[in-house]
Structure 1
Amino acid sequence: MTGPTPPARDEAAVARFVERFALILTDAGWPRMPSRIFASLLASDDGTRTAADLATHLQISPAAVSGGVRYLTDIGLATKERSPGARRDHYRVRDDLWFETLMRREQQISRWVQSVKEGIQAVGPTTPAGHRLELTRDFFEFLQTELPTLVANWQRPSPP
């Protein structure tokens, strides 16, 4: 006995999602092309696309693809892969992307805490800037404390 047939992929709806999600990322401060490329990778069934696929799906130039994927690989949100014997690179987002990103963020937060502590000493802890930096340090330290619990509570979804 087989289960229900999954609905057919609606490419027009997928394209609308990619553009809407990219706009949300852009509103949050991401550059426009990396936002569109990232959304396109997320929406692909296997999480991968070649540069040519990205250019076609997003109707952008190869140069725009190159710059966008460079940005995404530099910040660790996509990887560049090539199969043995293949001539084209594939760009991929991992299924556990957000978990891995959060784990890297934990290391960054430690550096931020240390830097802010230095800033507090530089501006003086009793100054208005010192107070603001102490609040910043307190927030980052709160994140450091809570992240392990958050990660422990995360239940990774099973692959479909």
Structure 2
Amino acid sequence: MPGGRLTQQDRQRIADGLVKGLTYTEIAGLLDRPISTVTREVARNGGPGGYRAGQAQRATQSRARRGRPAPPSPHVEDEAEPGRDAAAVRDVEERFTGVVAATGLSRMTARVLTCLYLTDSGSLTAAELVRRLRVSPASVSKAVGELEQQHLIRRERDPRRRRDRYVIDADVWFRGWTASAGQNLVLADLAREAARVLGVTTPAGMRLQDIGDFFRHVSQAMIEAAEQWSRDYAARKRRDS
């Protein structure tokens, strides 16, 4: 029943929904459950790409036999900020991490990005990330390397502490978006070159020409949208100052 423990049938419906590409909201609606129930269930049992109903059921039964709750999910803050609901913050963190991981980032990288998003300062050192996420320095180092490579965070030197700080802000997303547009342009040019090599009148050549045209169109639209946002954002900041 709604609000009770998930059954084997519930878990199978979650697994089927994930395979069909349904959102957490849609799956929760099918089960008549809160969205947080579905996101927590998926997050603690392999994530969107690794969730299996049978494994999740056996893991839950094993935890019940041991007589202790599932290990708590490491969360962004050791304690909620004053005025914030700690449970609600953890729920948002789990859901945010799941959505970010679904874009193709590894789970650890998604957790680091979520941590920066949900931290008021939007800026943390590697040591602070290790402490907040309760993971190894090597895990954080690998994650921030991936995020830097995709221009999703930037690095600043903290002169007072002589340590690097990892920062996320509006400019970071602008740079990440334009970098992605640039990668699409590279792919577009390569596809067009391949079409010429294979012959633009051959089936493979025509297919590659279409791919090149598509990615060039998309990248140009992305760049125009980013530039328009940058102008609007700057204007809004001037009005607010």
| TM-score normalised over the length of structure 2 | 0.56
Displacement of 1:108 in angstroms is: 2.4
Deviations 1:54-74 (A, max 9, x none): 223222222111111111122
> Is 1:96 equivalent to 2:171 in the alignment?
yes
**Structure 2 regions of 5+ residues with no counterpart?**
1-81
> Residue in 1 aligned with 2:125?
50
Corresponding residue of 2:137 = 62
Size of the aligned set, in residue pairs, is 154
Post-superposition offset of 1:148? 4.5
2:87 to 5, 12, 15: 12
Partner of 1:127: 202
Correspondence 1:114 to 2:189: yes
Quick one: structure 1 residues 149 and 10, their matched pair in 2 at CA, closer, same or farther if it must change by over 3 Å? same
Q: Alpha carbon RMSD of aligned pairs, Å?
A: 2.4
The TM-score normalised by the length of structure 1 is 0.80
- Uncovered stretches (5+) of structure 1, i.e. residues with no partner: 1-6
Which piece of structure 1 moves more, 15-24 or 36-45?
15-24
Paired with 1:72 and 1:131, the residues of 2 have a C-alpha distance of 35
Q: Could you say which structure has the greater relative contact order, defined with CA pairs below 8 angstroms and 6 or more residues apart?
A: 1
Question: Residues 97 and 10 (structure 1 numbering): CA distance in 2 closer, same or farther, change over 3 Å?
Answer: farther
Deviation at 1:47?
0.7
In structure 2, the partner of 1:36 is 111
**2:166 corresponds to 1:71:** no
Q: Is the 8 A contact 2:190 2:212 kept in 1?
A: no
Q: Which has the larger radius of gyration?
A: 2
Displacement of 1:131: 2.6
Q: State the shift of 1:143 in Å.
A: 1.9
